Amino acid sequence: MSAATLAPADVKPGADAPIPLRAHLRHTGALIRRNLLWIRQDPESMFDALLFPVIFTLLFVYVFGGSIGQSLGGGQQAYVQYVIPGLMAMMGMNMAQGVGTGFNQDFNSGVMDRFRSLPIGRGSVLFAKIAVELLRCLFALTVLMVVAVLVGFDITNWPGLLASVGLSIVFGSALMWVFLTLGVLMKNAQSVQAMGFLVLMPLQFGSSIFAPTNSMPGWLQSFTKYNPLSSLADSARGLMVGGEVASHLWVTLAWSVGLTVVMAPIAIHKFRTKS
């Protein structure tokens, strides 16, 4: 993508030139288009969004569904109704990890050096990356729900389903700022993946995503109580199949706003100042 494409006529060349809001929006739109064209040229980059929902749904439903479903009092079918909202919460988190890896690869390939040499808003690069990853996340959630229906998930509340998708998108976008920061700070994509694994694995399995928490040790229940993924999963579960919603919903929104307010300025600053 050339400088002429990204830089409007009313912006003078130079990395430190002030960029008006309208130009920011134009730059973001151009970069979103660039990222989408890249996906079209490299469709393999969508494999994770396509395969993760299928693999995780089949794995947990058919491997753990019988035993955990028994404890829920309804066998495998009861577990399907329990785990699908949790997997919806997990999809946003997995897509968030991918944005940091891709961002780091763009740095190491020299793409970001080219962007930073252009008279474009620095935030536009990050916002465009997040926008495209949110589209990938929406695709992954769609695949998840298709597979969920095939394995027996009963959609009884369509407005609740749509609200759950929106909540997962909101929380996923907040997490993306964390991984964009890691993408700038880490030396290579493998380091970003390793850090993501170390952070996300305890959050995933120390939550109510896959199983109820009432049989966990007391110290682990205390952890799950403050785990944002538990709040997100319980919110989605309440919206989709019934149950407590309000308290979990506000906790999830508070985490989303807090992560965005804290991490977005840090990510943009690190991107501006990275040498």
pLDDT in tens, 70-128: 888 788 889 999 999 999 888 888 878 878 888 888 777 777 777 777 777 777 888 88
Rg (CA), the chain: 20
Instruction: Return the pLDDT at 18.
Output: 65
Which residue has 């930073």 as its token pair? Answer: 116
C-alpha of 259 from chain center: 13
The total number of residues shown for the chain amounts to 275
Q: Enumerate residues 6+ apart whose C-beta is below 8 A from 116.
A: 15, 122
Above 60 in pLDDT, residue 4?
no
Report whether 92 contacts 169 (CB < 8 A): yes
Q: Which residue has the higher pLDDT, 21 or 68?
A: 68
Average pLDDT over residues 20-32: 82
Average pLDDT over residues 186-200: 85
Rounded-to-integer distance, Cα 133 and Cα 130, Å: 5
What's the pTM value of the predicted model, to 2 decimals? 0.84
pLDDT of 5: 44
Domain locations in the chain? 19-273
